[in-house]
Amino acid sequence: MTDKPRPMPYTPEHLRVVHHETNTAGRDFVVGDLHGCLGALEALLERVAFRPDRDRLFSVGDLVDRGPDSEGCLDLLKAPWFFPVLGNHDLFPLAILDAFGDPPYWPWGLEAAGGPGPLHRLWINNGGEWALPHLGASAPSPQLQAYARRLGQVPHVRVVGTGAGRFQVVHAELLDAHTAEPLSDAAVDRLDGTPIPDWCPPRGIFALPMLWSRVLSRDGPMPAGTTGSPTFCGHTPIEHVRKRAGHIDLDTGACFGGHLSLVEPAAGRLYSVATTPEAGGCEGGVRSERAFTEGALATAP
């Protein structure tokens, strides 16, 4: 009798950094945490006259949970113009499928997160109810497995352009796992392919600053060290887009009735749409009647 072959994990075991050349044919945009707010995103893209044949949309991750259309946001992964990074909420379905696999796959740190039961409850309690119909008694649905396969290919960091025009996209923060200092561009570039357990012990993927950290979100002294290229991030809901230690936080609480924020880095423009019920809501409303704002992207701390 032989053991069952261990399946390939959904959860990444190595850091992934993907580089993109400068977009010479169109424009680049970066959007904050979507959390299922597909309608608000579509309204913003219509507002800026987004051209899918030449423009690109980068996302700071957290496509799923809390909002009304997680699956609609996951379908964006099939669009050739959509380039997200992995968010901590995007990690939940990957880890759950690995933990409940046959045989289970335990990426570094999953046991430290409490095992499959507590992890499953944590996900559901933080907006993962949309996935309950996909989590059958015997096996996850083929659709959830397909979503997870696509999410499992999403990198942790995207780097766009070179030189003075370079910018970076990460979910939370690009900080050294040991010193909490901002990473230089060269240090970011060296991350690609690094084993996560080696770079971030002891909890691995569940302790990665780029997925979970909120050091810069605190109103305290900033970490020492030289910051690298402008880094667009999210993870921590704030009222207005702000910059700290080179990080520009775009999570303006779309799923909590705040705003969904979109920036065009090259033009230095910031666009947002309200997601409160009276402004059309996160899941509907006539787009022309939504509350939009537009202005310069502030680059001061």
User: Within a domain: residue 253?
Assistant: yes
User: Within a domain: residue 147?
Assistant: yes
User: Within a domain: residue 78?
Assistant: yes
Residue 64 pLDDT exceeds 90: yes
Q: Confirm if 137 and 45 have CB atoms less than 8 A apart.
A: no
**What pLDDT shows up at residue 68?**
92
User: Within a domain: residue 6?
Assistant: no
Q: Confirm if 78 and 102 have CB atoms less than 8 A apart.
A: no
Residue 208: give the domain boundaries. 17-296
pLDDT averaged over the chain? Answer: 88
Residue 148 pLDDT exceeds 90: yes
Q: Report the number of distinct structural domains present in the chain.
A: 1
User: Within a domain: residue 265?
Assistant: yes
Residue 231 pLDDT exceeds 50: yes
Say which residue, 203 or 290, is predicted with more confidence.
203
Q: Confirm if 56 and 28 have CB atoms less than 8 A apart.
A: yes
List, for residues 243-269, the tens digit of each pLDDT value: 988 999 999 999 999 999 999 999 999
User: Within a domain: residue 41?
Assistant: yes
Say which CATH number the domain at 260 has: 3.60.21.10
Average pLDDT of span 144-158: 95
Say which residue, 119 or 21, is predicted with more confidence.
21
User: Within a domain: residue 7?
Assistant: no
Site of tokens 């993109």:
20
Buried b or exposed e, range 212-249, using 16+ CB within 10 angstroms: bbebbbeeeebbebebbbbbbbbbbbbeebbbbbbbbb
Confidence of residue 280 (pLDDT cuts 50, 70, 90): very low
- At residue 85's C-alpha, the angle toward residues 36 and 247, to 5°, is 100
Say which residue, 8 or 181, is predicted with more confidence.
181
User: Within a domain: residue 199?
Assistant: yes
List, for residues 116-146, the tens digit of each pLDDT value: 778 888 899 999 999 999 987 677 899 999 9
